[in-house]
Amino acid sequence: MKWQEKGWLRTYLATRHHYVLHQEFERLRSLKSSTASFDQLIYELMQPTGLLYGYPAQMPYSYKALLKSLKVDQLQPQSKWKIILLESLLNSALTTNRYHKLTKEVDFADAISEIGYRIGEYYTAIYPNILPHTKNGFFSRNRKNGIDLSEKTIEARTQYTAPQVEFWSAIVHSALSFIDVFCFHPWMQSYHDVQKREKVVEAHIRLRMLMLYVLATAAWSNKLLEKEEKVFLQYYLSMAQLPEEQQKQGEQLISKRVSMDKIKWGQAKSPVLKRYLLELATMIILSDKVLTESEQSFLDQLRTKLNVPEKEAQHSILAVESFVVEHWQNISYLHQNKDVEAMMTYLLEKLRSYFSEQLPQLQLYVEHNPGLRDLLHRSQIETISTDERKKIRQGLLDALQTTPAYQSSVVPRSLLTYSVIMDLTPDELLISHQSQES
């Protein structure tokens, strides 16, 4: 399909209906049942895609037939961004109570179509000036043309218009996309209640302002606002499309450094939102790969203000660093950075400590997987085959995925080869299995 031509959204939804993805919906429902809150679920669905960190690295579903039909491997970044943003919005809505009891494939397809119509309505409510007015008034919002409105608004929210530095523009789009997806769930949940929908719109404005505060304080963290950082903040302000009063506040934020004490941190009530704000600030500071003392101090202060436990903050930062290392070859703004190898070495040292810290959880996983346990034991006393090494590596990667930092995050698989992951694995994990066998 041609992603740059009018009608791509209608074609995409029709293609999606053809593959139905009913099993994907069942997976969503299962995840919702086992997750403490909808925002935690949204985070778990979005984090591996890369949308949170400014790069569309991975599609949010695992259906190879659909991905092959879309020729995903040949898509440009903006087209990938369209799919990931769209699918994230669909997932956000599908996890509302409105669709929880769907059982038939035809009902699931209808739900996808309905959400497709509502996306345009949502965006025009959140960003009243997202599309230009026509001589007949604002772009038609009737149900017949609803899908066209959704297409135009998604185009508007994924269009890079003035990025002098790709990294900064990507961060702007990822930050705003997260808020869009985060708020779409309650907006769909309260679709038939005008007052509740208006509260969602107001909450969206507050979150856009809070995000600007965090971005601005992160940019100022080394006590100097670089030219490109100023351009980045101005770009965020233009893309955020804030009301007049908040727009003026935003301009003041850019012109001079703001104390963290003046920020209303109570607005960040969700643990997931707190985690994302911390990770976003970390991503910005990691952009030059040189963490100064003042920047580290800023991250510590931010963690305190957000009331994020120190261990949880360490896990969040580890997740960000792992994402960067896993995808650096596909992220153009990292191509010319000469410190990537040093960052990999640094990450491996952190992972060594993390493996030791998570030894009880890793042991628990291995104990519940006798095949992996036996292979680990054999690997210490005899030469094993290449296939067996692959099984051990995959088993340990799966075990790592059950630990706090990676339960909803990208594991740096390309970095963790068999020899590397075995070197990182604590001796106690291997010795315990040898003793059990003897």
Give the end-to-end CA distance of the chain in Å, rounded to a whole number: 60
CA pair distance 313, 325, nearest whole angstrom: 19
Closest C-alpha to 147, from 122, 175, 118: 118
DSSP letter at 241 equals T
Place 345 in a pLDDT band, splitting at 50, 70 and 90. Answer: confident
Task: Tell me the residue length of the chain.
Answer: 438
Q: Do 49 and 58 meet the contact criterion of CB atoms below 8 Å apart? A: yes
More confident residue, 3 or 420: 420
Sequence-distant (≥ 6) Cβ neighbours of residue 138 within 8 angstroms: 124, 131
DSSP state string for 320-339:
HHHHHHHHGGG-GGGTT-TT
pLDDT in the model for residue 24: 64
Residue in the structure block whose two tokens are 């708020």: 183
Look at residue 200 and tell me whether its pLDDT is greater than 80. yes
Six-digit token string for 389: 């090494």
Tens of pLDDT, residue by residue over 227-257, are 777 888 888 899 899 999 999 999 988 888 7
pLDDT in the model for residue 435: 45
CA pair distance 236, 363, nearest whole angstrom: 45
Sequence-distant (≥ 6) Cβ neighbours of residue 236 within 8 angstroms: 172, 175, 176, 211, 212, 215
Closest C-alpha to 427, from 374, 367, 376: 376
User: The whole model's pTM is what?
Assistant: 0.78
Tens of pLDDT, residue by residue over 78-132, are 788 888 888 889 888 888 888 877 777 677 778 888 999 999 999 999 999 888 7
HSE on the CB side for 350, CA within 13 Å? 18
Closest C-alpha to 78, from 56, 100, 110: 56
